[in-house]
Chain A
Amino acid sequence: MILTNIDSVPDRRILKHFGLVQGSTIRAKHFGRDFAAGLKNIVGGELKGYTELLQESRAEATSRMVVQARELGANAVINVRFTTSSVAQGASEILAYGTAVLVE
């Protein structure tokens, strides 16, 4: 599966469009990580626990999108976008979406 966030897959002709595919996940932070982050808040800087958490969820959202694309018979997803929104305190939704296409 080829993923790009431009309008095409360079050097390959698009044979067929399958339309929008998406994958999302909603994650909550767990208490231990929140506590460690609270301590880290005193000196500032990167909160590694949260970085990892969001990276994992983004990978999960992307893989769900890829599964959807594969079911349609696509071999690439173009114009991939990511968005994050917080749905409740301490929980955020990660969404990945793009256009599933069949390329040469």
Chain B
Amino acid sequence: MSRWVELLITLGIPILLILLGRFVGGSLERRHYKSIEQRETRFRGQPALSTKQSNTLASIRRAELAIGSVVVSVDYFKRFLSGFRMIFGGEIRSYSSLLDRARREAVLRMKESQPDADAYINTRLETSTISSTSGDEGVGTVEVLAYGTAVVFENVERTRLR
């Protein structure tokens, strides 16, 4: 009898966590993507450029640093799946979607920190992993930082990039 209870606990808890990750984590991800897409359309006229000059001839009236960052982690289900992937090799799709989300979120936060800018030039993206104090529990936790120079052009109406 006690053996059954033991088995139930050792197998049941990971399975519960995997299911929780699959359904709760999955729905959170879909909700996050929806919000990212909404906010991206709002900032469509204010592009983030990785070049040091904007491609218009307008002169810049004001320049200021804009920073946005986000720390994200994968859910239990995806971590479980990636374990299999590690055996066979190949792309770990669940991790790519996580980093895609994180980068887009970081860029959006950078834009939201200076919402009146016409463009964000010299945008840089930096990714760093965060280790946990308790061993390898922090696997799959990354920070994405986006920063750039928010610029405001002279004669905004004429030169705003659309």
Q: Please report A residues at the B interface, Cβ cutoff 8 Å.
A: 2-7, 9-11, 28-29, 31, 34, 37-38, 40-48, 50-51, 54-55, 58, 80-86, 89-90, 92
B128-A47 in contact (CB<8A): no
8 more contacts with CB within 8 A, not counting A41-B76, A80-B147, A86-B130, are A11-B61, A40-B73, A42-B24, A43-B20, A43-B75, A44-B28, A45-B73, A46-B72
Distance in angstroms between the alpha carbons of A46 and B108 in the assembled complex? 14
Chain A's interface: helix, strand, loop or mixed, by majority? mixed
Q: Please report B residues at the A interface, Cβ cutoff 8 Å.
A: 17, 20-21, 24-25, 28-29, 32, 52, 59-65, 67, 69-76, 78, 98, 105, 121-122, 124, 126, 128-134, 137, 140-141, 143, 145, 147-149, 151
Q: List 17 A-B contacts (CB under 8 A).
A: A5-B147, A9-B63, A11-B61, A41-B74, A44-B76, A45-B28, A45-B29, A46-B32, A50-B71, A51-B71, A54-B69, A81-B124, A83-B126, A86-B131, A89-B133, A90-B131, A92-B130
A77 smallest CB distance to B (angstroms): 9
Question: A84 contacts which of B75, B128, B140 (Cβ < 8 Å)?
Answer: B128
List chain B residues, Cβ under 8 A from A37. 73, 132, 141
Top-7 shortest CB links A-B: A44-B75, A90-B133, A10-B60, A50-B71, A3-B65, A84-B128, A44-B25
B143-A54 in contact (CB<8A): yes
B73-A82 in contact (CB<8A): no
A53 smallest CB distance to B (angstroms): 8
B75-A6 in contact (CB<8A): no
Distance in angstroms between the alpha carbons of A85 and B143 in the assembled complex? 11
B149-A6 in contact (CB<8A): yes
List chain B residues, Cβ under 8 A from A43. 20-21, 24-25, 28, 75-76
List chain B residues, Cβ under 8 A from A82. 67, 126, 145, 147
List chain B residues, Cβ under 8 A from A9. 63
B25 smallest CB distance to A (angstroms): 4
List chain B residues, Cβ under 8 A from A55. 69
Distance in angstroms between the alpha carbons of A4 and B53 in the assembled complex? 13
Distance in angstroms between the alpha carbons of A86 and B137 in the assembled complex? 16
List chain B residues, Cβ under 8 A from A81. 124
B76-A42 in contact (CB<8A): yes
Question: B132 contacts which of A2, A34, A51, A80 (Cβ < 8 Å)?
Answer: A34
Distance in angstroms between the alpha carbons of A58 and B68 in the assembled complex? 11
